[in-house]
Structure 1
């Protein structure tokens, strides 16, 4: 996440993520799932502009029309059901701050994609408004607020390139990336319901853990990295969506270190040795379907 001051405003550039490993360890007493996941930030960004509003109002708008952005308005409401405004309201309520804000969002991270765009935007809102409103909250004070908003928000709050995340996803253990990773990411036209995917999860399948992937990354070994990629939610997503199944099949036609679905879908990706190879793969994939295709590297 990058923050830049422009006159009285703040502009945040906030990344998407990929899950390189995702194990579901069980259901918790609070109804959430206990997970262990390796998340990596990638160079696909939303941009948010925060302008002070003295009346105390919280306003959210999109830069560009939803149709031009390829956004279904029913999937991205601009009212207080949106996680961005929920984050702003949570800060207001927690601190008693009387100030408001006008937020404009340039949306590039696809919706219902498993790329964490909503969580990333919420984290950017917490960090930016803490500064814009001169609240002076420490990271240790922001993290409990992030955990109230969603399972992935804490990862983006820390602005780390890669981390092992546990609990609901809110317990963050940063891990260094010794070299950048390069990806081609494919977002099918359709999305998936996270609830439906979890309901179809085969809970008898044991977790594989993060260490095989982390060992491969430390060694810089493509075979180990590819072998360490796994997502417990991929099988149920494939059973629910022919688009996800077809996307993975297309990705696996292209030489790569490995391919996987991210989060609860519907985006899938391949890891490649070089951005030139990723760009070449993207051209082939665009010819195979109408899906959105992105060439990205791990964010620094």
Structure 2
């Protein structure tokens, strides 16, 4: 699949924003001392809204007619994209009520603002899950049609969100909370393990072939004529191919940027290095998401000359 940069920005930024907001609310509710600071809560909450808004706006840039984006709300019963759009919009008023409660009443929020924060955190995870299911529900792409896809989307969203939360807390409070440091380190390890399992799984020589696509599994089948004699939208979008060596190098770069270096920087507890770690993680996840699309093989490629997908 051809990776659209706007979709990469959308999935990475919104994922980090939803992860940040979820961990912020959970830390606040659990009584974590460093997250009882209204300045940390407001800064983290505003940062999450900025990331999510930037992500959602960028998601419209790859549309042929962005003005028709409103149509994504019309198929809630059957479309994960529609569910994502609905929950993404519902998320905003609850989070704004929660942050308004903190703004006017400090960190000791109760009643409606507290309930709104809880609902906002739930909606954040639901929206992130819906985003992942847009891809995981596609049976035509073996690399996406797996429970590993939503697991990785949620794990990486929480991982990047935890680094951003630790960074905000360290900058405002002056030192990094030991609890947030351990949480971020744990989520970095969890995200790395999940991604490695996914990479191992998609690397297996399995999936659709021209035999399984036609149902003739006991005979040798070959394509006599391709679907088109010249390039088309399908060739350019679904027939996107990258050299294997380049993919391996990008995988290594992604692992180093998104997981290894941030893990080492996080161990230092330095506020300055935490900013670097958070930025490297976002950069690494942009590479990860590029690979997520570039390594996907749509079954329609069989119609255009590929013997295996």
TM-score in same-fold range (> 0.5): no
TM-score, scaled relative to structure 2: 0.28
- Greater fraction of residues in strand: 1
